[in-house]
Structure 1
Amino acid sequence: MVSVRRGIAAVAVSGLLAGCAVQEADIKSYRALAPLGADTLALMDAKHTTKAAPVLIRAYKKEAELEVWKQAADGRFVLLKTYPMCRWSGQLGPKVREGDRQTPEGFYTVTQGSMNPNSAYYLSFGIGFPNAYDRAWGRTGNAIMVHGICSSAGCFSMTDPQIQEIYATVREALAAGQHAIQVQSFPFRMTAENLARHRLDPNMAFWRELKHGADHFEVTRREVPVGVCGKHYVFASPKPGDKLDATAACPPLEEDRSVEPQVVGRETRDLSDVAALVAQGTKPIQLVYQDGGQNPVFAGRFPDVSRPEALEAGPREVVMTGPPAAVAKRPGLR
């Protein structure tokens, strides 16, 4: 970011020497076109990837972290960098309606048309909410972004230096021919501990559906094939001649026989670990936020953060009682 600031300063000095003020449009153009830093390019090289290689993004609300993954030479994705998130808003759980301040959860897509170099929030790009799943459930909202400035009303808010780097990473992949960048947004990291602690949360059926997609990525380290039918996410393809309809019953699906057993095995192990944690006395809880959260590294560092009073106490743990939340039967072959 230091190089970016020096570049902007140089533009400003040049403009003054020419007898005219630098226009805001010039600064925004520089932000959007600023090259990736040498450190980032060196990191890509160390990970056996390049700035032109495809990108994938994963976000975790409870941990307030956003990961940028890059496709390596062997076709599998490698973790390039984990960015602490400056702000997200709402509660754990999906976005349901316009104005609910919920940061979405699910599988989304960034395209060239999603990029916003003229953002009021330094730089930004949309994640494609609502997607087919959201529309099938009648969910409303728009302009859900990953952006700069530590303020959120449903978006993933990063610092300005972070969004500068993330934006450039996404821009380079799109410019090199990646048609769409997958964004995987989760309530938390899908660990056995998190699943055990949140086992009675009313969103658990939905979260287990997301976990199945997350497990596909963990097993293959390749972009997850995502579809929607019967108002469910599916991670398989319809048979030739069939097609997926987000609200209609799912047709017979063809799952990858080389991958699915590994995914099922991972799920089985995780459920066994959850059962062990429950047997050891792990209490079921629900986290209640005043309005979202931020990564602890940013606590108190941004005086202009949105709704700072909502962040002061952190989330409140409410111990839950009652029968386990219903687990939706996953459409498909099993």
Structure 2
Amino acid sequence: MLHSIRLLAIGVLAIWLSGCVSSVLSVDTKATQPIPAALLAEMSQKSMSPSSPILIRIFKQESELEIWKQDRSGRYALLKTYPMCRWSGKLGPKTREGDRQAPEGFYHVTANMLNPTSQFHLSFDLGYPNRLESALGYTGDALMVHGACTSSGCYALTDDGVSEIYAVAREALKGRQQAFQVQAFPFRMTPQNMAKHRTDPNFSFWTDLKRGYDSFEVARRQPKISYCGQRYIIDTDFAGGEPTNPLAACPPAVSQPNPAIASRTQSDMQKIDNLASSGAALTAHFYVDGGMHPVFRDILRKSGEDALARRTSSLSAVPVSRPSAGLADPHTPGN
């Protein structure tokens, strides 16, 4: 009898101790949350699986992030578009630490670049500087896509938004995809937008980005990115394999992008020239310090920065970055 009581007491103590440990050492499960049921249903409807590859596109001017996912045909289809609450800097690439510029270019994100312990809920590192940017001497690190509504060179969504993106990326990287491509653009690379910025010093750089944009728009497959001649080269194979020095002249090409993609780019460039020469291009957007999707700007304008911070982050200590600039941008020169 005494032995039974002792065993019962030990069992109760073990249960009590395990309860203590789990409460004291509780694990934050935000990084392991499943893909929401509504998004899984959307995948199923579009013939996608949770483990199929993804590709992400970011557009500064529109303040939008898109997740594309490979369907059963092997082509990518749009899964969902997320409004971004904040990005900082101006249109154009990031070149140095502290310039507040959010990067533009082509990046590849592996599983070890997902950050489950981000100070802004969850995040993933873009991998800036990439090989080309490093060769050009560009500086900066830890350029992220994360939650909340604050940015100093990053792309900030809401906590809910980044949670969904994180879960989708995590499951894709658990599948057969070793890294997913992120394409970060100043704006949607339409002839109209390009013509608006025809005189911008970054126009040549943006023309290179547009070739990657056109490749994906036409083929709905991840473009192959190479680096040589101090620029991005899209969907080209070279004699002797991939160039190893992004600053050196490109070696002879043994294959070129498919004719449909080249035709799209050539046609759009002609439209850009026509729009610019006719004066039909509208006024370009300019920024003092980054942009904000209209849905968030409306909340900021009507309810104030504290209300926007509460709507976008579970952490009350994360304020909206430079809210006055968020309200002012984009602007036209002289205004």
- Matched residue type, 1:96: T
Aligned-pair distance for 1:177? 2.7
**Large movers: runs of 4+ above 6 Å:** none
CA distance in 1, matches of 2:73, 2:240: 29
Q: Deviations over 1:103-154 (max 9, x none)?
A: 0000001001101111111001101100011012100000011101111101
Deviation at 1:284, TM superposition (A): 6.8
For residue 126 of structure 1, what is the amino acid of its counterpart? D
Q: Secondary structure at the match of 1:125?
A: strand
Map 1:1-334; keep pairs closer than 5 Å.
18=19, 22=23, 26-27=27-28, 30-235=29-234, 236-240=236-240, 243-256=243-256, 259-283=257-281, 285-299=283-297, 300=300, 302-303=308-309, 304-318=319-333
Question: SS where residue 318 of structure 1 aligns?
Answer: coil
Q: 1:23 to 1:181 in 2, by over 3 A?
A: farther
Cα 1:318–1:221 shift into 2, 3 Å: same
**TM-score of the aligned structures, taking structure 2 as reference length:** 0.84
Change (3 A) 1:81 1:24: farther
CA distance 1:317–1:260, change in 2 (3 Å): farther
In the alignment, structure 1 segments of 5+ residues that lack a partner are: 1-14, 320-334
Superposition deviation, residue 21 in structure 1: 8.4
Mapped partners of 2:30, 2:261: distance in 1:
41
* Counterparts of 1:152 and 1:24, CA distance in 2: 31
Structure-2 separation of matches of 1:57 and 1:24: 35
Give the C-alpha shift of residue 274 in structure 1.
Answer: 2.2
Alignment partners' CA distance in 2, 1:73 and 1:200: 42
CA distance in 2, matches of 1:23, 1:288: 50
* Cα pair 1:32 1:117 within 8 Å, conserved: yes
Q: Which amino acid aligns with 2:330?
A: P
How far the C-alpha of 1:260 sits from its partner, in A, is: 2.8
Identity of aligned residues (%): 46
Q: CA RMSD in A?
A: 2.1
Give 1 or 2: higher helix fraction.
2
Work out whether residues 59 and 65 of structure 2, in 8 Å CA contact, stay in contact via their aligned partners in 1.
yes
Residue 19 of structure 1 deviates from its aligned partner by: 5.7
Question: Residues of 2 paired with 1:242 and 1:38: CA distance?
Answer: 42
Q: Distance in 1 between matches of 2:290 and 2:206?
A: 18
- Write the distance in 2 (CA, Å) between the matches of 1:59 and 1:201: 20
Give a deviation string over 1:225-255, Cα, whole Å, max 9, x none.
0010121111112223563321111101233
Please state how far the C-alpha of 1:279 moved relative to its aligned partner. Answer: 4.7
In terms of Rg, which structure is larger? 2
CA distance in 2, matches of 1:152, 1:86: 9
* Cα separation, partners in 2 of 1:198 and 1:94, compared to 1, 3 Å: same
C-alpha distance after superposition, 1:205-243 (max 9, x if no partner): 000000011111112111110010121111112223563
Question: In structure 2, how many angstroms separate the alpha carbons of the residues matched to 1:80 and 1:226?
Answer: 23
- Which moves more between the two structures, 297-306 or 103-112? 297-306
Alignment CA distance shift 1:240-1:192 (3 Å): same
Letter in 2 for 1:26: V
Distance 1:25 1:307 in 2: 35
The one-letter amino acid of 2:266's match is T
